Structure 1
């Protein structure tokens, strides 16, 4: 097993952070328990500096004040692979921000690397095989097995070296400044606090439902959440998305109708059947003037020339993707293309001011974008 230092007390954390802060770069990763519990939490924080590897056990530490300045110190580069989830989780659980990020997954995107999972990169560069079964492990379980420890340490043990390899490739290709801009934007994401919002707003397909169905859907989602919280299980282990959708659309109002619908398994009917019927009836009883509605942004009037501009800009984007090796959706997503087509900037400075546009995109495509828009005008 790779050597590591286990940090499982407030005093250990304070002492080790003082030492880690003497380095200019650290690798970081987290493990959570979203596959196993109702309320997700960070269960393990892995760190590595150029000399040592560390496992921080959040389940035994009360005071994280020593970790916060380390993560937020702009003089120390924090290397992650696919940092979005990690940054949001650290914000949610510990109010910790990440400053001076290097994200190896984002770096791979700028280099046109298609197989960019950490497992694929570790295999390619270090001939190291990660055991995928640990991706679904219950990381809240204690004690950690030797295999879990080995897997978690391997997530960070080679990350600094991997970052060095990718950074050199970015510099050699003239794309390092592009990646740095994207790293900075990624570091600014925060946990989305939506506890007070209707649950149907995060349910796939809700935007296509009528108001009556939305009332039933919300009632069913509230029921499922209450059961999941009581049992301390993730939502999908109570009832899947497709099951909830079918219950909403067919809305069986009696136990017999529910059994005839065959939406639920016999086991689910025994466990949740009456609660489902009760939730459906409750949702259908919502008065007309209290029915929920899915919020919709009023679409701006589309001028006849805008679709032509969008088509031309997508063609330009796709050609640039072929030339650079950067995937089209990352090079410039459709929302940004639509915004550019709508505003139709006449200068690169105007292009930079459009929401969602990056400086690196303007540097790479700006002149061509302006030319295409002039032709389409």
Structure 2
């Protein structure tokens, strides 16, 4: 196993960028601290070429501007495995719109591979075992130990070889058009998915919408308390109280420390540290104005029927091909088709992210299914 190169100075970064600009394909991965911080950040950027493995340290390097030219250069192919999370982080922290994407996990899914995790692929193809305990590392802490850096290196060391193996399995030009269209869709979608935190996010907790109004008001206040403490301590909110615990608090509305301590899954330590704040939040919620429940977009039965018909068609296409259903068409695109209900190929062009390859390949089937749903109305 070749030795990685740790990049911690601007001088080293300039040298690495010069090398990367000479490449046509590189492997990329990132490590973040989502399990350890209120607002996660990119903590490592691993980059591999056919000859070297670089580990760039954004914690020690304040300015990564020079790397932008590499990531936004469409002539340099960037090979990720399960790129979406990495792309979101690079966009969030640095404003980089990564181009020239090749995602080995997506490609493997399109080929019908059974084991898709990078750890499984490394073991099956290279007899390399990944120590998964480092997935839980706080990657923002310094110094990192050599075992952590070795783990980080493994995330990109074999990506170019995996890419080459995948390329050998593609048998026709049609598959190339399909897969690269999907890469482009993922790259665009990753930049759209970033959302700012909002107090109204408490409605996203499982079961929140079904609470009586009084209890929803309590949940809102406890949620805000949890978020305030998490922000102050710079830890993820779940480290303060997990979602299902604050749901139970909202349902039971404890009014004293003993009642709070009797709630299932709340620890004695959590009670000791937070009982005053939680009980005050419950008290505020009990007298607060009831929060307005977000209105669900009303969907008529015909749209639901179209969606179900398209899902059945997608399922059968996937079975025949030996792949997962969303390889055929992603769920959100299927829903857009059901809602917009296009009647011709021009209408299909209005469906966001359907793409020219899928329009050409599946357009006739899709229009037939949608037309059949119209015929059933009469």
Q: TM-score, normalised by structure 2?
A: 0.90
In the other structure, the counterpart of 1:326 is 323
Which residues in structure 2 correspond to 1:103-114 (within 5 Å)? Answer: 103-114=103-114
Cα distance per residue 1:249-271 (max 9 Å; x no partner)? 11112334323445633222112
In the other structure, the counterpart of 2:86 is 86
In the other structure, the counterpart of 1:214 is 216
CA–CA distance in 2 between the matches of 1:198 and 1:310? 29
Instruction: Indicate yes or no: 2:360 matched with 1:363.
Output: yes
CA–CA distance in 2 between the matches of 1:211 and 1:333? 35
Instruction: Indicate yes or no: 2:257 matched with 1:255.
Output: yes
The 8 Å contact of residues 227 and 238 in structure 1, kept in 2 or not, is answered as: yes
Greater Cα offset, 352-361 or 238-247: 352-361
Greater Cα offset, 150-159 or 188-197: 188-197
CA–CA distance in 2 between the matches of 1:319 and 1:340? 18
Instruction: Indicate yes or no: 2:30 matched with 1:30.
Output: yes
Which residues in structure 2 correspond to 1:1-377 (within 5 Å)? Answer: 2-172=2-172, 174-188=174-188, 189-190=190-191, 192-262=194-264, 264-287=266-289, 291-303=290-302, 306-376=303-373, 377=375
The 8 Å contact of residues 2 and 153 in structure 1, kept in 2 or not, is answered as: no
Q: 1:32 to 1:339 in 2, by over 3 A?
A: closer
Greater Cα offset, 333-342 or 153-162: 333-342
SS of 2:174 mapped into structure 1: coil
Which 4+ residue blocks in structure 1 deviate beyond 6 angstroms? none
- The alpha carbon displacement at 1:129 in A equals 1.4
The 8 Å contact of residues 2 and 150 in structure 1, kept in 2 or not, is answered as: no
SS of 2:50 mapped into structure 1: coil
Cα distance per residue 1:164-183 (max 9 Å; x no partner)? 22123235473111111111
Give the number of aligned pairs.
372
SS of 1:79 mapped into structure 2: strand
The 8 Å contact of residues 220 and 280 in structure 1, kept in 2 or not, is answered as: yes
CA–CA distance in 1 between the matches of 2:89 and 2:336? 31
The 8 Å contact of residues 167 and 176 in structure 1, kept in 2 or not, is answered as: no
Q: 1:275 to 1:7 in 2, by over 3 A?
A: same
CA–CA distance in 2 between the matches of 1:308 and 1:198? 31
Cα distance per residue 1:25-82 (max 9 Å; x no partner)? 1111011111122221211110011221101111110111101111111111111111
- The alpha carbon displacement at 1:278 in A equals 0.7
Q: 1:174 to 1:124 in 2, by over 3 A?
A: farther
SS of 2:65 mapped into structure 1: coil
Cα distance per residue 1:122-175 (max 9 Å; x no partner)? 222222211111111121232222211111111101101111221232354731
C-alpha RMSD of matched pairs (Å): 2.2
The 8 Å contact of residues 130 and 151 in structure 1, kept in 2 or not, is answered as: yes
The 8 Å contact of residues 200 and 214 in structure 1, kept in 2 or not, is answered as: no
Q: 1:256 to 1:148 in 2, by over 3 A?
A: closer
CA–CA distance in 2 between the matches of 1:88 and 1:308? 34
The 8 Å contact of residues 199 and 218 in structure 1, kept in 2 or not, is answered as: no
Q: 1:300 to 1:22 in 2, by over 3 A?
A: same
Q: 1:96 to 1:9 in 2, by over 3 A?
A: same
Cα distance per residue 1:296-326 (max 9 Å; x no partner)? 24314334xx555444333321211111122
CA–CA distance in 1 between the matches of 2:36 and 2:307? 44
Instruction: Please list every run of 5 or more consecutive structure 2 residues that lacks an aligned counterpart in the other structure.
Output: none
The 8 Å contact of residues 199 and 222 in structure 1, kept in 2 or not, is answered as: no
Q: 1:350 to 1:168 in 2, by over 3 A?
A: farther
Instruction: Please list every run of 5 or more consecutive structure 1 residues that lacks an aligned counterpart in the other structure.
Output: none
Q: TM-score, normalised by structure 1?
A: 0.91
- The alpha carbon displacement at 1:374 in A equals 3.7
CA–CA distance in 2 between the matches of 1:264 and 1:90? 36
